[in-house]
Every structure is written in structure tokens, then in C-alpha cells.
Amino acid sequence: MKEQSQILAELIDKSQFIVFFGGAGVSTASGIPDFRSATGLYNRENKTNYSPETMLSYPFMLSHPDEFYAYKRENLHYPDAKPNLAHLALARLEAQRPETTIITQNIDGLHQAAGSKNVLELHGSMQRFYCMKCGRDYPASLVWEGQGVPHCPACQGMIRPDVVLYGEALNGRVIRQAESAIRRADLMIVGGTSLVVYPAAGLLHYFHGDNLVLINRDETPYDDDATYVFHDDLGEILDQAIQ
């Protein structure tokens, strides 16, 4: 691990534009489960006859809003989750290198909670909600502390999370910003992601810089394309590499 961290530290020292691309594995150390591992959200038993993919879809939100919000509150709300070593190390990196960009597939807001500012959220955030009818923004507390389906006090429209559900397209502006950051990067660090979810995983094709580093406990489809592959603990590697 120390050798891996030293390699990464040296790559960071000689790089100017750094991109970190992360997935659910970034937040597992904070107590937030991933989706596809043996203990992940998609392999958990639930009390309904629907799959998690169905319950996290746009059509299901519209047709079964009560069940949609019950599932969200039970499975996607982690009020006690705090930034872990990986989040904190990346915040230090941005403080040292303001050109650093974090691209995340996560919706938990922990990068911002750690202090990172230049964060591109590919799938949105469960920290933001808005009315589907009038567009007013609402704090997450209105939804999490309530019961049933939240409605806008102003127009009675349904309030929804500012996340990309199954059946919805990614935000075009965020995708373009991510593509631009990756094209410019001379070092790209990919961590905590299986790189099987598209179109997000396809963003790696825009990287033409000097070094691609993959840090993930399991193998990914991009391992053969990387300069370095570390199958070890993401948080510890980043914490030791970024002082």
C-alpha cells in the first residue's frame, strides 16, 4: 500500500490537471452501501414485488409515488454518513491544486461535505429536491423528515429528488463539463467504480493524458488500458498519497 501511495503521490506532483472519477465504492467506508456487490442495494431483499431498478425509475415514481418514496427513505437516506478518508484526501488535493475536478456517480453529497467545490455530479444529488410543477427548490430535510409523498406548499405539485432515475437522460451540461475536464487532464484517477454503468463509464474514452490510475478492489473492463491498477483500499491509498 505504501508503495502504491508513493507512486500516486509522484504522479500527482508532476501533473497539472487532475481528474478524479469515482463511484459507489468511494462512499462505502462512510456506511453507504454500493449497488452491485454481494451486499449491495441491488442484492438486498425488499418487501415488494418490484426490483430496485424498477423502483428507482422515472415511470415508477410517477405511477407509484408512495412506494417510490418509501423505498427512498428506507434505502437511500443515510443522515449519519460522514466524509471518509477518500473524500477528505480529495478535498485536500483540490485545495492544493485548484484545477482538480471531481466527477462522481454518487448522489450523497459527501464530496461537498468534505470541502470539495469543483464537483460534477453525473447522477444528481439526494441533497436537492424540486417541485415538478412549478420548479421551486426545496431542502432535503422537507422530504426526509416528512412522511408519504412530499408536495409543494405553493402549488401542490409533487416534489422529486434532483437525481437521474432509470429512464431519464443524464444532464447534458454536466456531461459536457465532464468531457472537457477529462480531455484536458494529464492525470486521471478512477476509484471505487466497476466501470460497467454507461454512459458514465464511457467518459474514460475522452482521456488522452499521460497517466490513468485505477483503484478498485475488483477488476474492471478498463484495467488493461490503465498505467497503474491498484486492487486495494481506496481511502488509505489516497490518504497516504495526498498529504
Taking the C-alpha atoms of residue 215 and residue 4, their distance in angstroms, rounded to an integer, is 10
The answer to whether the beta carbons of residues 126 and 173 sit under 8 Å apart is no
- Phi, psi of 5, deg, nearest 5: -65, -35
The answer to whether the beta carbons of residues 60 and 68 sit under 8 Å apart is yes
* Residues labelled as active-site residues: 123
Helices of type H across 34-99: 52-55, 58-63, 65-75, 85-96
Residue type, 70: A
- Work out the number of other CB atoms within 10 angstroms of the CB of residue 3: 8
Secondary structure of residue 106 in the 3-state scheme? coil
Could you list the beta-strand ranges (E) of 134-237.
137-139, 159-163, 187-191, 211-215, 228-230
- Work out the number of other CB atoms within 10 angstroms of the CB of residue 132: 14
